[in-house]
A and B are shown apart, each in its own frame.
Chain A
Amino acid sequence: MPKFSRAKVPPDPEVLVAAAKAVIDREKAIPRSKVGPPSVRDRVLDALRLEGFEVTAKVVRVPIEEQLGAVLRDGGYLAFNTIASHVRGATAAEAKQVATTLADSGRARKILRTATETLVPVTEDVVADKGLAIASKRASDLARQLHNAARKGVGVLRSDIAQALDGVLPAPSRSAAPHRPDSSLELDVLLRAVDATRDAKVGLSFVPKVVGLLSADFGHATAQKALLDAASRGLLELRPEGGLGRLSEAERMACPEGPQGTRLSWARRIEEQG
């Protein structure tokens, strides 16, 4: 019986793109080899890249930042040592790197839970910097008191210990307040945010980080206005961005506009000069 070769119908890239998107929506990632046959694979990958998916050497995926962001928006905590389990189509190293970027840019907070570094939403009430130092000192004072009592063979009133423990934590910061933009931003809150994000070596704070810290409570526009007000009062120096395309679109939008079409991406407390 003669064999007839089947006429091959060329695959339709649009159909393949739609199919791949459906899989990615469901699974968050799809192997490159599954998006279509080699003859049209590059076209399909290009289309998916244009759709905003990340195309790597092995997979096409929802951007890691987006995957992590979704977990954080739902109030999830992400332990760094298991963070890879929260993203699909990425290595642990990639996931950790993106998580670090989220923390560095002020879009999430990096904290320590027991011995595990953890990423939490920026709206969480976190004790950090000076608050942490105060808590540490109070706790060690209490520990020293208990140790002295034990050494001398005497007891301590339970109520005294309870009272001391109550006082270990400083008063909750404003960020613990309900997630509601506030149109008035007090100067000391702004300056605290500038201080919290300052590079210790040169005293510069990256404006997107400052705005990131404040925007959860006050919104972008209010944070930017507060920065400009502080600059006009001579309390802050706002510096134009000089990098070569270093700002992401989100970072650029977080920076107030400066003279001659620049963006003001760095801030410095004026009193620290000289």
Chain B
Amino acid sequence: MSTAPFEAIHADPWADQIVDLPSLNADVSSSIEDATARQRDVARRQPKELRSSSLVVVGPPGAGKTHLFARLRQRLGPRAVFVHIRPLLNSEMTARFVLQEIARQLSYATMGLRQTDALVGSLLAHLDGAPAQFPRAFLDDLARLDGPERTRHLEDALESVLATWQDADESYLRRLLSVPFDAPATRRATMAWLSGRECDEAQLQRVGAQSSLQEEAVVPALRTLAAVASLGSPIVIVFDQLENLIDGQESRSRLLAYGNLAAELVDSARGVVLVHMAIDSEWYRAIEPALSGAQQSRIAMRTKALSLPTAHEREELLRLWSARDPNPKAPFPWPFGERRVARWCSAPGMTPRMLLVECRSALESGYSDDDPIEAEREVVSDGVPVHPAGAGVLNDSLADEWARQVESARRALDELAGQGQCADPARLADGFMSAAGFVSNLTLEVNLRATAQLGWGTSAGKLRMALLHQNHPRSLGGTLAKLANLAEKEPVVALRERVHDLPPTWKDTLAKRAALLAQRRAKWVFLEREDTARLLALASMLTAGRSGDITDALGRPVPLEGVRRWVADTLEVATWPVLTALTEAPAELPDQPDAARAGPFSPGIALGVLRRLRVASVDRLIREVARVDRAATRASTLAELELASDRVLWIGAAVVCMRAEP
């Protein structure tokens, strides 16, 4: 049998197909299912009595916490909206962060149905007296109506909801209800607005809004979402891997912030089902004791410990897994062997993940089922496991994990770029905080509410860094003006993803950037896509390491210290350009867009600008190059294009583009 079915030993919360043994932890699944059904029932019968529900689920690593999320998605389908949130590694979670995550995951699909459609469809169907369990069919019927007729239906639904919950946010709800019927571009813009992210002018125009969602509108938006969803598909928010909230030092600020947030959700977002998942030891010994009595009573309304599979359940799991082989050579217990199966089923403390790992190891080893495979395992004295074949194998596992994390971060960035959004500053700050731990002469403090969110301590002194994620020229201009004031007192670095460089039409904002960069202490750094991906991947990798979700070739969790050591030895974090830029003098930076302090013309800029524009008229290119490097002239730009004739393709005499990479 191939080992392929055993390669994925970590559950994917959004997997379309899972292998599930329903009897295992059936009581925990039922508790969450019942809570969801109860919310729906109360919302329909006694909407004024609607309250939140909150449940804590604990278990050792690999016991099936994330699998439980995937199982519930499969089982409840469109009858609930599922949101999976992993905490920030170094920053505090806020209500806006939760709203962003909900809106982002509303676009995800379960069994081919987008969660937005499930939420809106089941709500409208219920209000119309139609069966709420077929939201797609109801939306299709509405979509077939002509525009005014459909609008009347939506207005009726809106009025009905507002009559029940007067404190619902009307403008938020109106836009939410329109999402399934919007054209794709409008839908993307609406979802960006609903998420509370900053929208650019084009998006605001599509949505028909004057501005993005303001801070004071975030909690009402959550309240509205939770309440209206409870009528059809209640929202289940699962906070996973909460052990990552525990600070290394004595500080409990992130835990307390989480406790406050969860308590606020319980009090404000009525109709929502909150599930808090953590490693059992960490919950009992660090998380729960750090929460106040008021927080504990709201968060841990009930506490459930995940069971490990009994001997019988282990055998059932093994049967299910071995049945995935389309061409079995013999009946079960093939391919593992009777004695081996008996040994696995009787060993105390075996989690489903451990069982998967044993299966994979057994198949890889090719030993008979009498061989004591465990005897080959070694643990070095500092607790970092080492494969019998040596540390190289462990490094390979970590390198594979790193590649997966980077790839996942790239996908997330592409998804955001598709919606015209910058990377989330909280996630980015997390990445910087993680990276700072690997650079000896750098310290970092994060305050996401400040204009310049990051406070760096370098060997040359302190400096502030602003993560410029704003999409609207006015709000970005406002931030740049504040940074200019700040730069009068202390060094400031303005950081923006290169892919979201300021367009030439944002003249006022560009002027403000120029004013900022005219300050002696200010500098501008472009964040390349790959750098962004690496920062996000690093934070994600350390999060997984802390939760025991990174395993070696034998599937044993690699301790966080082992992961950190590999990162320190392999990734050379200190040489990442965005970190070296912190210690460079402003004049040495290649990316300074303001030519006020730039030196003579820098060759290579024209090609860089063209790569970003892809295709442009020569006049446009010259203008753009001049914006980046004031020393550049028409002649120098044309000369550079001529020198790079193998990479540049001319279309006539006025248009130029980059040739495709070989």
**Beta-carbon contact of A202 and B377 below 8 Å:** no
Let me know if A273 is at the binding interface, CB within 8 A: yes
Say whether A260 faces chain B, with CB atoms less than 8 Å apart.
yes
CA distance A228 to B350 in the complex (A): 13
Q: Report B-chain residues with C-beta under 8 Å of the C-beta of A204.
A: 280, 284, 305
Q: Which residues of B have CB within 8 Å of A265?
A: 281
Asked if residues B379 and A261 are in contact (CB atoms below 8 Å), the reply is yes
Asked if B58 and A202 sit within 8 Å, CB to CB, the answer is yes
Chain A residues whose CB sits within 8 angstroms of the CB of B560 once the complex forms: 244
How big is the B interface, by class? 35 or more
Find out whether the CB atom of A238 lies under 8 angstroms from the CB atom of B379: no
- Among A37-45, A77-85, A126-134, A229-237, the stretch that binds chain B is A229-237
Fill in one digit per residue for A237-274: 1 if any B CB lies within 8 Å of its CB, else 0: 11111111011000000001011111011101010011
8 A-B pairs with CB atoms under 8 Å apart are A238-B349, A244-B546, A246-B285, A246-B286, A259-B347, A259-B348, A259-B350, A264-B349
Which residues of chain B are within 8 angstroms of A243 by Cβ–Cβ distance?
279, 281-282, 285
A268 and B246 CA atoms in complex are apart in Å by 26
A31 on interface, CB distance cutoff 8 Å: no
Residue of B nearest to A230 (CB): B348
Is the CB–CB distance between A239 and B280 below 8 Å? Answer: yes
Taking CB atoms, residues of chain A closer than 8 Å to B281 are: 241-243, 246-247, 265-266
Binding site for B on A (CB under 8 A): 199, 201-204, 206, 228, 231-232, 234, 237-244, 246-247, 256, 258-262, 264-266, 268, 270, 273-274
Contacts of A256 in B (CB 8 A): 348
Pick the residue among A232, A259, A273 that contacts B27 (CB under 8 A). A273
Cα-based distance from A232 to B342 in the complex (angstroms): 12
Q: Are B305 and A258 neighbours in the complex by a CB distance under 8 Å?
A: no
Chain A minimum-CB-distance residue to B351: A240
Cβ of B135: which chain A residues have Cβ within 8 Å of it? none
Query: Complex formed: what's the CA distance from A243 to B246 in Å?
Result: 11
By beta carbon, the residue of chain A nearest B545 is A244
Across-interface contacts of A234 in B (CB, < 8 A): 310-311
Known: A239-B60, A242-B548. A261 touches B285 (CB 8 A): no
B303 at the interface (CB under 8 A from A): yes
Q: Would B305 and A268 count as touching, CB distance under 8 A?
A: yes
Chain B residue with Cβ nearest A236:
B348
**Residues of the B chain whose Cβ atoms lie less than 8 Å from the Cβ of A239:** 59-60, 63, 280, 308, 349
**Residue picked from A201, A239, A242, most chain B C-beta under 10 Å:** A242
| B308 x A237 contact (CB < 8 A) | yes
**A261-B385 CB under 8 A given contacts A242-B280, A243-B279, A270-B310:** yes
CB distance from B67 to the nearest CB of A (A): 15
Question: A264 with B348: in contact, given A201-B303, A273-B27, A273-B307 (CB under 8 Å)?
Answer: yes
Q: Give B355's nearest chain A residue, CB to CB.
A: A259
Chain B: minimal CB distance from A61 (Å): 20
Q: How far is B281's CA from A242's CA once the two chains are assembled, in angstroms?
A: 6
| Nearest chain A residue, comparing its CB with the CB of B286 | A246
Q: How far is the CA of A203 from the CA of B546 in the complex (A)?
A: 26
Contact residues in A for B307 (Cβ distance below 8 Å): 237, 268, 273
* In the complex, chain A residues whose CB is within 8 Å of the CB of B556: 260-261
Distance of A237 Cα from B307 Cα, bound (Å):
8
- Which residues of A lie under 8 Å from residue B357 when comparing CB positions? 260
In Å, the complex CA distance between A241 and B246 comes to 17
Q: Which of chain B's residues have a CB closer than 8 A to the CB of A237?
A: 307-308, 310
A232 lies within 8 A of B282 (CB): no
- Evaluate contact between A260 and B548: CB separation under 8 angstroms: no
- Does B27 lie within 8 Å of A228, measured CB to CB? no
Q: How far is the CB of B388 from chain A (nearest CB, A)?
A: 13
Report if B555 contacts A (CB, 8 A).
yes
B354–A259 CB distance below 8 A: yes
A239 to B284, CA, bound (A): 14
Q: Are A238 and B348 in contact (CB under 8 A)?
A: yes
Complexed CA–CA distance, A204 and B284 (Å): 10
A260 to B282, CA, bound (A): 20
A251, chain B: closest CB distance, angstroms: 10
Please report the C-alpha to C-alpha distance between residue A228 and residue B347 in the assembled complex, in whole angstroms.
Answer: 9
Residue of B nearest to A263 (CB): B349
Which of chain B's residues has its CB closest to A256's CB? B348
